[in-house]
Structure 1
């Protein structure tokens, strides 16, 4: 191991990058500003493209121990409650794409990646350490680290991966392209015991589409809990960077007035279980325009730091895992100079990630459509069904174009 990778950020993307680098024969020093590893209580959907990444790293048994594997994706009208379309998941997804569709608590995904790297002799995890700035000398990267006792001694490495999320300091220093943009969409998130919802909802992903809103719920933690997300239009909190806010359930109830009683029953299950909602103001960036948006010199971006996207294609975590897989392949090119390895990583990733960004943003407009567009959307779902819900180009990664979701 003659190369050392520095990683900014210890979330899902940062841990995946660390794991990928060790498999490419690199040593890793990861810096996480939080004093302990943790992930908020929210669910993540992993399409077969993302599950294949975990399988390749030998993490399928760990995934199977904590995830749920829904049998169907069902889309309903938030207004009249009727089924608009259904897509078979479960074994059907395995047959089509070689891997299942999984739903998982975000903390469980983070934990299984952490367990894969925390005892690895090539990985040094530094908690309570934040990279405040870096210098790319052309031959090495020098990072300046801040911790509880003040400024630490500079650390040198052969490359730096900015996996430090939506508000990435790494991106700010190198790309200087401004802050993420507020979408005007607010995500209310909650977890409830599975028994709090009718049995019919517990083994599937259910999406409710309505004018200027939609809701999704699906099982996590082996099906013992249900993750609920309701996204509405509204004014975001002033403090966008600290995205996790206490939510006012009355505001959510007001936004859902007029929706179908079955949807309102799902939403009311949170209060009935004595639990609460958290509010996430959604932000994103325009889709990337070139490989230069992901790598420059000895610095590259990964996950939300590179290509943040709204959750309307359920691919945020999946794209970070895919990034790490391609990073592994690039770092393993041991006869190639490091800047060229990072360039190869960016060239192999930017177009696909940009396409997912654009599709996610488009889906947001479709999901929340009003008037004739909403009518056409519902008709298209009723007529075309699985052809609109399936996404072969995404789940196979073969460039085929299809799908609404």
Structure 2
């Protein structure tokens, strides 16, 4: 007999979990705190490890219709503009890992997952339902919303992000997420609105002292996603990752960059910003699940965006969770969640740690920066490729 499962959170982590569980014939109630489902306008890079799992979830055909397939990853100096290293993507990734490397608009991926969840017939979606209280029992768990509605099921999955209200039911940790001192500025611009010299079919990365910038195509290549990350004092509400900002604020943090990057930043019509917060890497399976409550995505292991795997690890979690629960009845949930946590925690912790380390490498100054660039020039693709990540 299939289990009845509650999911808190209707973002990519929650929808991927709901879809994976629905495909295993579990009954799912998904609770989203917003009054309507939706995602903001940011891009996501999807490595082969992620697109392989989206294939398993049955959405690869729709994904290929909305994604861009970049031809290469090119690393440049943010100050001089010269190319430092290059990693072929496109057919090379497909050949090496039997799955493509894609770039997608976050809202497009969210809409794709939402449509698949709605089409499954096994998921009941409820909006305007912010989980405020969780009560776990030996044979069930209940979630109460802030307006006193209550749902009860065999299990609960917390997919409610960095500021999760489900997390304290698994981890006795009262400390809030840690402010990193880094700020991200992001923008989306139609490629047709850019001068020809600024349009791109690649993932372009510019590395500079205490900053780096990334741009890549989304929406079949029709739009360009641009992100600049710099070490800057936080502003505004730490929970607001869609704050209006300006080019002037960005340039105050970054200073003058090379001509090509500067031209791209100035061609962008508007900017949004958010302050990066995270938590230490996981230390054990107890931080991902306990009895009848499990965590996925940022609720368990928030990722800094320096390995482009935040959404990827959430999607990996979703598939692993469904695999652990495959064929399991209500009484088997605690054992299934224990298997899930045991399988996932070390990989997630490794990605968290590598993302933090990448932030230090990307933003290096002085001799460390010189050594980094020299190594990239000599080893190039060997340093940029990550088989341990993409081949899993």
Does structure 2 conserve the Cα–Cα contact (< 8 Å) formed by 1:197 and 1:266?
no
Cα distance in 2 between the residues matched to 1:173 and 1:188? 33
Query: Could you tell me which residue of structure 1 aligns to residue 311 of structure 2?
Result: 317
Describe the shift of the 1:197–1:326 C-alpha distance in structure 2 as closer, same or farther (beyond 3 A). Answer: farther
Bigger mean CA deviation after superposition, 245-254 or 339-348: 245-254
Q: Which 10-residue stretch deviates more, 240-249 or 349-358? A: 240-249
The yes-or-no answer on 1:288 pairing with 2:288 is no
Deviating more after overlay: 155-164 vs 242-251: 242-251
Residue of structure 1 aligned with 2:370, choices 372, 375, 384: 375
- Matches for 1:140-179 after TM superposition, within 5 Å: 140-146=140-146, 150-152=147-149, 154-177=150-173, 178-179=175-176
Conserved? CA contact 2:169–2:293, under 8 Å: no
Which structure 1 residue ranges, 4+ long, deviate > 6 Å from structure 2?
A: none
Matches of 1:267 and 1:50, distance apart in 2? 29
The gaps in structure 1 that reach 5 residues or longer are 398-405
**Map of 1:20-31 to 2, 5 A cutoff?**
20-31=20-31
Alpha-carbon shift at residue 122 of structure 1 (Å): 1.2
Residue 165 (structure 2) pairs with residue 194 (structure 1) = no
1:7 partner SS: strand
Could you tell me which residue of structure 2 aligns to residue 182 of structure 1?
A: 179
Aligned match for 2:350, one of 344, 355, 365: 355
User: For the residues of structure 2 that align with 1:131 and 1:256, how far apart are their CA atoms?
Assistant: 39
Distance 1:302 1:198 in 2: 41
Of the structure 1 ranges 354-363 and 55-64, higher mean CA displacement relative to structure 2 is found in 55-64
Distance 1:396 1:117, change over 3 A: same
Kindly provide the CA deviation profile for residues 56-112 of structure 1, in whole angstroms up to 9, marking residues without a partner as x.
111111001100000000000001111000000000000000011000000001000
SS in 2 for 1:108: helix
Q: Which moved more, 1:196-205 or 1:99-108?
A: 196-205
Give the Cα separation in 2 of the matches to 1:298 and 1:279. 37
Q: CA deviation at 1:242?
A: 2.2
Aligned partner of 2:48 in structure 1 is 48
Q: CA deviation at 1:246?
A: 1.2
Once the two structures are superposed, what CA deviation does each residue of 1:183-240 show, in whole Å capped at 9, x if it has no partner? 1000000001113154574110000000000000000000000000001111112411
- Corresponding residue for 1:342? 337
The answer on whether the counterparts of 1:219 and 1:227 sit within 8 Å (CA) in structure 2 is yes
Distance 1:174 1:317 in 2: 21
Q: Which shifted more, 209-218 or 21-30?
A: 21-30
Quote the residue 1:124 is aligned against. Answer: 124
Counterpart position of 2:360: 365
* Contact 1:256/1:264 (8 A) holds in 2: no
3-state DSSP of counterpart to 2:342: helix
C-alpha separation in 2, matches of 1:197 and 1:283: 35
How far 1:248 moved relative to its partner?
A: 2.7
DSSP 3-state at the match of 2:230: strand
SS of alignment partner, residue 216 of structure 2: strand
Q: Give the counterpart of 2:388 among 361, 382, 393.
A: 393
Structure 2, unmatched stretches of 5+, are none
Does the residue aligned with 2:130 lie in a helix, a strand or coil? Answer: strand
RMSD, matched Cα? 1.3
Contact 1:201 / 1:218 at 8 angstroms: preserved in 2? no
Structure 1 Cα separation of the partners of residues 180 and 88 of structure 2 = 31
| Superposition deviation, residue 131 in structure 1 | 1.2
Contact 1:32 1:129 in 2 (8 A): yes
What's the TM-score once normalised by structure 2's chain length? 0.97
CA contact (8 A) 2:289 2:295 kept: yes
Structure 2 residue aligned with 1:302: 296
Kindly provide the CA deviation profile for residues 8-62 of structure 1, in whole angstroms up to 9, marking residues without a partner as x. 0000000001001112221000000000011010000000000001111111110
Change (3 A) 1:175 1:315: same
